[in-house]
Amino acid sequence: MDLEQQLAKMREDWDARARENAKHYVQTAQTDWTDEEFYASGEQTVAEEIKTDMTNICQGKDPKQMRVLEIGCGAGRVTRALANLFGEVYAVDVSGEMIEQARHGLRHHPNAHVFQNNGKDLGVIPDLGFDFAFSTIVFQHIPSKAVIENYVREVHRLLRPGALFKFQVQGYTGVDHNPDDTWVGVSYSDEEARDLGERCGFEPRYRHGAGEQYFWLWFFKV
């Protein structure tokens, strides 16, 4: 399977999941989410992963003056909570169906801008200079290290010097992944994650959860 086929498969599979039950595939903790519960779970993610970490994320800036980037926004679960906290949010997702649902969920948030992308770069995002980038439960599903590395390079291109990209990869290396599988993606050891950051021009300052499904990385743009 070549890269173009893999990208098409990611788009098609995620479009199908979005049509079947977007909220469930975005956050599998529940099958039937009400809108209220779904967006509350995004607020919880932001409370746990962002509001507890404002020193690294804001670096003294007022969040309302910050422009933030999100990769793999799905139906806008976390995007909405980001838009409640920060000045502006720009987000991408490979699935047009997810983006449609995100647009609907964000219709009262004019400071949130969501775009369907090609599954590998951030060419659809205006190069405005970003103060923070975030991604959760996305790279665990990507079946290609080349695609993930390209995203890390793209985030580096768009972030301001010193700014943080906080994101997750799959840290559990015990499963063989299949390049056709858009649910179980590739995994990274601690050393591979550090090398990835350094190769892409980041200082991989902190890492948490090596060996686990939710392996968090704090990459600061050098």
Ligand X SMILES: C[S@@+](CC[C@H](N)C(=O)[O-])C[C@H]1O[C@@H](n2cnc3c(N)ncnc32)[C@H](O)[C@@H]1O
Tell which one of 80, 113, 141, 221 touches ligand X (CB under 6 A): 141
Pattern 88-127, binding to ligand X, x per CB under 6 A?
----xxxx--x--------------------x--------
Q: Minimum distance from CB of 139 to ligand X (Å)?
A: 8
Q: Minimum distance from CB of 40 to ligand X (Å)?
A: 12
- Does position 216 bind ligand X by CB under 6 A? no
The 3 state secondary structure assigned to 185-213 is: CCECCHHHHHHHHHHCCEEEEEEECCCCC
Tell which one of 26, 122, 193, 210 touches ligand X (CB under 6 A): 26
Query: In the numeric block, which tokens belong to residue 195?
Result: 């090398």
H/E stretch holding 20 reads helix 3-26
Nearer to ligand X, 42 or 204 (CB): 42
Q: Minimum distance from CB of 157 to ligand X (Å)?
A: 16
Q: Minimum distance from CB of 60 to ligand X (Å)?
A: 27
What is the chain's length?
Answer: 222
Nearest Cα neighbor of 33 from 24, 45, 25, 42 is 24
Q: Minimum distance from CB of 161 to ligand X (Å)?
A: 25
Write out the binding residues for ligand X, residues 30-89 only, by CB under 6 A. Answer: 72-74, 77-78
143 in helix, strand or coil?
Answer: coil
Cα 34 to Cα 38, 48, 83, 84, 98: the distances in Å are 6, 21, 20, 19, 17
